Amino acid sequence: MKRNRKVKILATLGPASAEEHMIEKLHRAGADVFRINMSHASHDMMRTLIGRIRAVEARSGRPIGILADLQGPKLRVGKFANGSVELKAGQTFTLDNNEEPGDENRVYLPHPEILEAVKPGHRLLIDDGKLHLRAEECNGTSIVTTVVAGNKISDKKGVSLPDTLLAIGALTEKDRVDLDAVLATGSVDWVALSFVQRPEDLAEVRKISKNRVGLMSKIEKPQAIERIDEIIELSDALMVARGDLGVEMPLEAVPGIQKQLTRACRRVGKPVVVATQMLESMISAAVPTRAEVSDVATAVFEGADAIMLSAESASGQYPIEAVTTMASIASTVERDPYYSNIIHAQRPQPEATGADAISLAAREIAETLKLSAIVCYTGSGNTGLRAARERPEVPVLALSPIIETARRLSVVWGLHCVVTEDASDLDDMVNRACRIVHNEGFGKPGDRLIITAGVPLGTPGATNMLRIAFIGSDGQSGI
């Protein structure tokens, strides 16, 4: 199943898309990776969805990635005696450790870590920022605040703390149980960690997962931005989770942060996913707004590896149309005459490694000689990542004998992943590459391609060889 675009699409599964026939339709429409949101999915449902995805994968013959998104810490106020109260700007309101139902003066906050960490002057945003409080007095058991922007507050509304670094990790007890269940399936490729604040938040997941899955850090806290280079170094990928990021930071700052994170990931050759509200109106409408189309296009122009649908595909009325629309926008942008110029202008300098030098040379040769494709043999996936980092204009085929590697690379920009046996020798390597490029529809007899690999064959992380080959009349090497 050949895609006519290089950016990948993540589609979240939910009530509107959980059945196997819907998953197959989403995949055919353009979904490359499926997201299972562990905030809503039980372990039984998670296993059922994985089974359905793998059944679709077997029929399609294409590796499909699966992302399990952990819920992370959910910070919420307690309940009110009458269900809700109306708070006015300028009034005093207290959050405390008293479990009694709240009223117009106070409410229970069942999070001692917040009561201990908030300092005078810190902001507390309730219900996605609809209610804005400023801390005035803090004693470890209560926070006396002034209402800056009033609104109604009701039971169990979420609390965001843009100015406060909490002494809790990003992994809750629920997340630990969910992570164990995810790893036990042996069939999930990525785990997304929510509300990462510091690089230390990743350590526990690394220890538990033992590299059995790729670790994707969701950036939705301002504290994470302050230490982003360290977080990227310890992550396998990043997700720009613009929903919560837009609550805890000024909305006008989010586009710049999106560009910052996208370029930071491109520099180091790690995948970056842009997520949240990309085609939000398509939850209930068959067509998106012009602003949403522009938003998706911006992420594509920026060179993001993947763009994501959340409620649009999980619970919306038009999940297939949402994926189709996103794929159409991406394909059109990538054909735009400005696209290659923008991608080229943002291209990072290669690192001083053999893999980067080979990947740079492969791109330049392929573009100079107008080759049909770049073929990279990769066991660990690193060669594929370095090839994609160059953002070449020609297609990149990542060939791997390890299906888990191919599935994990399905989120990476521009990689057409194929599972194939490892080559037995150099002649087999060249013949196999030519045959696959021909069979997958990326080249025809007489076309040329370039191959990168490590010699001796099968040596992880030893990319050190370039080879130009012709596709012969039989689809094999014409050399």
Domain boundary among 115, 136, 160: 160
Candidates 218, 266, 408, 432; catalytic one: 218
Whether residue 57 lies inside any domain: the answer is: yes
- Tens of pLDDT, residue by residue over 142-189, are 999 999 998 899 999 999 999 998 888 879 999 999 999 999 999 999
Do 204 and 334 reside in the same domain of the chain? yes
- Counted domains in the chain: 3
Whether residue 79 lies inside any domain: the answer is: no
Do 114 and 179 reside in the same domain of the chain? no
3-class DSSP state for residue 62?
coil
Candidates 5, 35, 363, 407; catalytic one: 35
35 catalytic residue (yes or no): yes
Do 462 and 391 reside in the same domain of the chain? yes
- Tens of pLDDT, residue by residue over 197-229, are 999 999 989 999 999 999 999 999 999 999 999
Any idea what the CATH number is for the domain that residue 270 is in? 3.20.20.60
Do 58 and 112 reside in the same domain of the chain? no
Whether residue 194 lies inside any domain: the answer is: yes
Any idea what the CATH number is for the domain that residue 391 is in? 3.40.1380.20
Distance CA 188, CA 364 (A): 35
Candidates 28, 76, 176, 263; catalytic one: 76
Domain boundary among 117, 133, 160: 160
Q: Which range (95-104, 221-230, 333-342, 470-479) has the least confidence?
A: 470-479
Whether residue 476 lies inside any domain: the answer is: no
Candidates 145, 164, 276, 452; catalytic one: 276
- Tens of pLDDT, residue by residue over 387-440, are 999 999 999 999 999 999 999 999 999 999 999 998 888 899 999 999 999 999
276 catalytic residue (yes or no): yes
Whether residue 2 lies inside any domain: the answer is: no
**pTM tops 0.75, yes or no:** yes
Angle between helices 43-60 and 20-29 (to 10 degrees): 50
Do 370 and 452 reside in the same domain of the chain? yes
Structural domain including 400 reads 354-470
Residue 471 β-bridge partners:
477
In what side-by-side order are the strands of the sheet with 373-377? 415-419, 396-400, 373-377, 448-454, 463-470
Mean pLDDT of all residues in 442-467: 84
Whether residue 219 lies inside any domain: the answer is: yes
Whether residue 68 lies inside any domain: the answer is: yes
Q: Looking up tokens 């679709």, which residue turns up?
A: 56
